[in-house]
Structure 1
Amino acid sequence: MKATAPPAKRRRGPRLAVLALVLCSLLVPIAFLFNRFPAVYVTDERPQQEVTLPSFDRLVVERDRIVHQVPRQGGRDVNAETEVTQDVHGKNSKGNIDLHHQIDTEHKVKVLPPPKIEQVKPVPVPVPPRKDFSDNMRRPRVPSADELEKAKACQLEFGSYCLWSIEHKEVMKDAIVKKLKDQLFVARSYYPSIAKLKGKEALTRELKQNIQEHERVLSESIVDADLPSFIKKKIERMDRAIARAKSCTVDCNNVDKKLRQILHMTDDEAHFHMKQSAYLYNLGVHTMPKSHHCLNMRLTVEYFKSTTLDSDDSPVHKFNVPDHRHYVILSKNVLAASVVINSSVSSSEETRNVVFHVLTDAQNFYAMKHWFSRNAYRESAVNVINYEHIILENLPDFSMQQLYMPEEFRVFISSFERPTEKSRMEYLSVFSHSHFFIPEIFKDLKKVIVLDDDVIVQRDLSFLWNLDMGDKVNAAVKFCGLRLGQLRNLLGEAMYDPQSCAWMSGLNVINLEKWREYNVTENYLQLLEKFRNNDDEASLRAAALPISLLSFQNLVYPLDERLTLSGLGYQYGIEEKVIRTSASLHYNGNMKPWLELGIPNYRKYWKRFLARDERFMDECNVSP
């Protein structure tokens, strides 16, 4: 009799692997929703950053100035409690990157000292005189202290989403749904106490049944129009059940405890939904719209299909003439760059010697090139440059070859001397790492004006080319609400003047000859080694603020603050006459004018410089 082989064992490995994959696919989305969402997302638009700075629990009083002391970043306002935040992926428990850099005392950063120059007066701007509009940018109503704290806490966690949500808040008008929810809360608070009473079994069953019916109705109906026709009978039955429950002798402490528990659960649920809404908001403001992506793709395809537009007829001879007026724009957005150029040209009296250099990345290079080949801007010339390609050719040893847009930092201001005054949030924009290689890209030029792609020009800027900057390198609007002494935890042991003001990018006049003379790019590379903690992008972008401020120590020429009106990407309440009389408008902040989430009252000034006769815009349904 032959011995039979034992039955083969079933392989459990593949089954277990499949089961594990199924569980992961179910758990990952849940964990994603319940965990704190990241502060920024991969995008082709300008990134906003967040670096939370001083906490409220440790304060240091210095020269009548109250400044936070936490290893993050500095503040704003001489007599103000300040916070600077920057939207980046962080690695600490709060999702924010720690920017406290302990710089080795044996390797201090040495920035070449510029010559000592007398105080320079701000250059006058040829715009009609007007009154100080700082008060006009604030809402007339003075909020209460509780509202201030709630608004500050909301902005610290969710940023400019809070401003947008307040502006678009919808009042609940469905009275029947609201009454159902109120009845449900009261019934739930009484039910545990009634269930413990003897002889109240019928009332307990009635309450339980009414609670279940209300929950089922509310799960299917959000507004009054969705409610069933027999809802009035359910409301009446619940009213009678609640009245009977209130007539019973119960422990009030138990009812109060249950009501508080329901309140806390409701607050948690509301906060959860707010996190979801804020996530979608940030996704919307940091992601290129579908229509814009369509436009880029169509332009890129058309570029390779068309041979006539990519000819040698372009005025290449103008691109490197030092005596011409050269503007530099860093942008990945075709529409944004075209609006900046169109507004500048429309506001200029003479455009024959005007040249615009658009630095973009490899992904958008051909779309940009085809767009500006199709569109003419009076007599000016447009030179589209592939930034990544030219950096790879000229600076092959430089590791950061991708194009970085200007970095924006959120600044919160609240005064201890005037606690009832509304907390202010402003965006401070500074040069990105890509800006520091402009002199290497344009070696033949002596002076350029750098424009951000979220700026529009409303006045002729030709007077800036005759500006005598002396030995200064960067002509910019100063931001004296933030002084370097307030950033001592961020700047470490680097040499700087504590009373020196920060400055804003957006519209900057750059003297390239003085830039090269003072070796600003070399000093930037030295500072980069000190302030860059690791190789991740978050640390790199977070270092843009201290590096930009230190690189131009004593090298900033102050422009008149009326030259640029900033805040149109986050600040509500700016008066229309102030906007119309400003030489240029800066849409710094999350609510860019090309997004549907942009502030409607300000988008019209941007849209009037938008091309209207482009068939690709119609085909891609681009309607900012």
Structure 2
Amino acid sequence: MAFPSLPPNPSSAAAAWRRRSGLLALLLLLLFLSFQVVVHVPSVRSAVSRRLFSDHRHLAAREARSCPGCGDLQDVEDFNKTIAYTDQDGRIKLFKVTAREFMSSSIWENPLLPRDSQPLAEIKETAEEQPLDTGSEANNLSSAAVSATQRPDPIKLKREVFRRRRKQQRIQELLQMDKEAELQLRNAATNSSRNFDNKVKVSYNIWRQEFHHTNTDSTVKLMIDQIIMAKVYATIARSQNETDLYASLMKCIKESKAAIGDAHMDSELDSSALERAKAMGHVLSSARDVLYNSDEVSRRLRVMLQSAELNIDTAKKQNTFLVQHAAKTVPMPLHCLHMQLITDYHLRDGVIKEYFQAAALKDEEDKAKLEDRSLYHYAIFSDNVLAASVVVRSTVTNAKEPNKHVFHIVTDKLNFAAMKMWFISHSPRPATVHVENIDNFKWLNSSYCLVMRQLESARLKEFYFKAHDPSSLSDGTENLKYRNPKYLSMLNHLRFYMPEIHPKLDKILFLDDDVVVQKDLTPLWDVDLKGMVNGAVETCKESFHRFDTYLNFSHPKISENFDPRACGWAFGMNMFDLKEWKKRNITGIYHYWQNLNEDRKLWKLGTLPPGLITFYNLTHPLDHTWHVLGLAM
């Protein structure tokens, strides 16, 4: 069934047309707006660029105006300068720059202002200028720049200042360089580039293969190791009745030792050493196949190691003792001299008799000098004739007024005749030398002198002479120097009895018999000891030679009375004020501490530890040049 068609409606057609017209108008409006945005953004960027460029020009012009003397540099139109630099491969490169390139990257500084302050001032000034008003993008750029300049990194800013300063200095040097200097610089750079050797230099590292020495001791060490293993296998072979293998090993050991001899380097080995090493290698290989047992080999090696350690320890002890013995043993010529002096002293015939007569007359003349307080008196306690002679002779030689120097020498009964005879026949005129025998001091006995009683005790003799004592000489090297026989001599302790030996003197200089005087000592008598008893040169440096080095601070008597960091001093040249000595009863203090140390718990033997204790807080430090340890005064 067909339906009839309806005629078109005029109202609906008009509505459709209106909708099309509206959409077209909206599309045209959007196209127009997008075109305006595209045109507007480049204009904003152009405006920002023009403004920044204008500010840069104004800033450069203002800096140029504020820099007296920089106008001439700004007017330079064009010039060429050659700059040399080294690239990453070490080659020298050249390039040219013009004045415009310098000016575009440089900031002219004001010579009236400090250099470090100029860049900061300019940054702050530009940051405070009015921001751009040509758009939001320009405003954001300006605000970011202001924010960055207001909070600079101090480290980066300092680096920038240094870089700018170096660059400006280099520019000034280039601007002031004449043509001749520039030509020389260019030629030097060219020649250096042509002659540059870019090869890797040889490294002097000992671990590099090419640095290894050809003359080594590797073969010597190899043969020694072979001998050790051969000894191990030889002992195992003998225990297992492998007689043929044992004989082969012992034969190779003997031949290898003969080939090594006293060699320490491969170049010192015998020509047959390599053949011996190869033969030993074959025998060791055979022994390993037959005898190797890891437990047995390790046990034998431990036994050999322990035996070697014991032998080394014994050799060290023996060496130390022999060195001490050789140092203290009197050589034959000196022994003969000593015997000859004693013989001459007792015979007194011929020329010797004349010496005695002259010496007797001089002793009568010098008798008054022995107690004259206006003279310079020295105390020397020694049993060594030549050592005492060196001390006296060197002192007199360097003295400005030798006739005013008096030497009081005390020795023991055994050496008195030799000491007396030596100074009779070798008198150091015009100085005075008086030799005394310690046995003539009647006050020096075991009832008064505690150290003499200790030296005579059985316990001290056992300490020195009993082999079973763990502290004896036969046991080791600990404190061996303190067991020197001189510490058993009373002469070593007489320094603590100065007022008893020289009761009428006010000051006396003690000299040990191992010093050599190299200048006049008379100024020491003018040193103000400031109420102290002892004048000595301190020897402590950092942690060396302080009280804890000599005294046992684990003992309460020591730790309660003394400072472990107190400075030690030399007991070989000491100026003693005998008046203060008597006033402070120094000898009594010495006796008190010596009695406490009867069992040697406070300090070892010797005179320096009790000296440090006795003169504690009573010692005035002298200038270190008066007593140089190891080099003489």
**What is the TM-score normalised by the length of structure 2?**
0.50
1:522-569: CA deviations, max 9, x gaps?
Answer: 2222332222239xxx99972745532222122111112232121x3x
1:369, distance to aligned residue in structure 2 (A): 0.5
Change (3 A) 1:216 1:364: farther
1:521, distance to aligned residue in structure 2 (A): 1.4
Paired with 2:446 and 2:347, the residues of 1 have a C-alpha distance of: 32
Q: Is the 8 A contact 2:532 2:577 kept in 1?
A: yes
3-state SS, counterpart of residue 379 of structure 2: strand
Amino acid in structure 2 at the alignment position of 1:438: M
After superposing the two structures, state which structure 1 stretch, 436-445 or 386-395, moved more: 386-395
Paired with 1:233 and 1:379, the residues of 2 have a C-alpha distance of: 76
> Who is 2:624 aligned against?
561
Alignment partner for residue 369 of structure 1, among 404, 413, 420? 420
Whether 2:510 is the aligned partner of 1:450: answer yes
> Who is 2:467 aligned against?
none
Alignment partner for residue 561 of structure 2, among 496, 503, 513? 496
Paired with 1:179 and 1:338, the residues of 2 have a C-alpha distance of: 57
Paired with 2:338 and 2:493, the residues of 1 have a C-alpha distance of: 25
Paired with 1:403 and 1:389, the residues of 2 have a C-alpha distance of: 21
Matches within 5 A, 1:158-557: 182-191=225-234, 201=242, 205-211=244-250, 214=253, 223=262, 237-246=279-288, 250-306=292-348, 307-311=353-357, 312-314=360-362, 315-391=366-442, 397-398=448-449, 432-480=492-540, 481-484=544-547, 487-490=552-555, 492=557, 496-498=561-563, 500-533=566-599, 542=605, 544-557=607-620
Amino acid in structure 2 at the alignment position of 1:473: V
Amino acid in structure 1 at the alignment position of 2:511: L
Amino acid in structure 2 at the alignment position of 1:440: E
Paired with 2:225 and 2:231, the residues of 1 have a C-alpha distance of: 10
1:184-236: CA deviations, max 9, x gaps?
Answer: 31212234566799xx95xx5133344167469969x9758xx9999998776
3-state SS, counterpart of residue 441 of structure 2: helix
3-state SS, counterpart of residue 569 of structure 2: strand
Paired with 1:441 and 1:402, the residues of 2 have a C-alpha distance of: 19
Paired with 1:402 and 1:290, the residues of 2 have a C-alpha distance of: 34
Q: Is the 8 A contact 1:194 1:250 kept in 2?
A: no
1:470-503: CA deviations, max 9, x gaps?
Answer: 2111001124444447743357168734254332
Change (3 A) 1:495 1:214: closer
> Who is 2:182 aligned against?
none
3-state SS, counterpart of residue 504 of structure 2: coil
> Who is 2:188 aligned against?
none
CA RMSD of aligned residues (A): 4.4
Q: Is the 8 A contact 2:447 2:453 kept in 1?
A: no
Q: Is the 8 A contact 2:533 2:581 kept in 1?
A: yes
3-state SS, counterpart of residue 510 of structure 2: strand
Paired with 1:512 and 1:360, the residues of 2 have a C-alpha distance of: 21
Q: Is the 8 A contact 1:490 1:546 kept in 2?
A: no
Change (3 A) 1:228 1:514: same
Paired with 2:232 and 2:378, the residues of 1 have a C-alpha distance of: 67
What percentage of residue pairs aligned between the two structures are identical?
Answer: 28
1:459, distance to aligned residue in structure 2 (A): 1.7
Paired with 2:453 and 2:367, the residues of 1 have a C-alpha distance of: 25
Amino acid in structure 2 at the alignment position of 1:449: L
3-state SS, counterpart of residue 313 of structure 1: helix
Q: Is the 8 A contact 2:545 2:567 kept in 1?
A: yes
Paired with 1:403 and 1:459, the residues of 2 have a C-alpha distance of: 39
Amino acid in structure 2 at the alignment position of 1:207: Y
> Who is 1:100 aligned against?
none
Amino acid in structure 2 at the alignment position of 1:322: R
Paired with 2:619 and 2:578, the residues of 1 have a C-alpha distance of: 13
Paired with 1:291 and 1:432, the residues of 2 have a C-alpha distance of: 25
3-state SS, counterpart of residue 470 of structure 1: coil
Q: Is the 8 A contact 2:237 2:245 kept in 1?
A: no
**What is the TM-score normalised by the length of structure 1?**
0.51
Amino acid in structure 1 at the alignment position of 2:554: N
**More strand by proportion, 1 or 2?**
1
Paired with 1:391 and 1:494, the residues of 2 have a C-alpha distance of: 37
Paired with 1:492 and 1:277, the residues of 2 have a C-alpha distance of: 37
Structure with max Cα Rg:
2
1:452, distance to aligned residue in structure 2 (A): 0.6
Paired with 1:353 and 1:217, the residues of 2 have a C-alpha distance of: 72
Q: Is the 8 A contact 1:477 1:561 kept in 2?
A: yes
Change (3 A) 1:175 1:455: farther
Change (3 A) 1:309 1:192: closer
1:178, distance to aligned residue in structure 2 (A): 8.0
3-state SS, counterpart of residue 488 of structure 1: coil
1:333, distance to aligned residue in structure 2 (A): 0.5
3-state SS, counterpart of residue 385 of structure 1: strand
Change (3 A) 1:393 1:403: same
Paired with 1:491 and 1:348, the residues of 2 have a C-alpha distance of: 47
5+ long unaligned stretches in structure 2: 1-215, 264-268, 456-478
Change (3 A) 1:530 1:250: closer
Paired with 1:387 and 1:426, the residues of 2 have a C-alpha distance of: 27
1:351-386: CA deviations, max 9, x gaps?
Answer: 110011111111111100000111132421111111
Paired with 2:531 and 2:388, the residues of 1 have a C-alpha distance of: 31
Q: Is the 8 A contact 1:474 1:557 kept in 2?
A: yes
Amino acid in structure 2 at the alignment position of 1:453: D
Q: Is the 8 A contact 1:352 1:379 kept in 2?
A: yes
Paired with 2:224 and 2:559, the residues of 1 have a C-alpha distance of: 59
Paired with 1:316 and 1:208, the residues of 2 have a C-alpha distance of: 84
3-state SS, counterpart of residue 361 of structure 2: coil
Paired with 1:257 and 1:175, the residues of 2 have a C-alpha distance of: 27
1:400, distance to aligned residue in structure 2 (A): 5.4
Q: Is the 8 A contact 1:532 1:543 kept in 2?
A: no
Q: Is the 8 A contact 2:536 2:620 kept in 1?
A: yes
Change (3 A) 1:210 1:229: farther
Paired with 1:217 and 1:272, the residues of 2 have a C-alpha distance of: 26
1:218-270: CA deviations, max 9, x gaps?
Answer: 69x9758xx99999987765443224334668344543443343233223222
Amino acid in structure 1 at the alignment position of 2:317: K
Q: Is the 8 A contact 1:388 1:401 kept in 2?
A: no
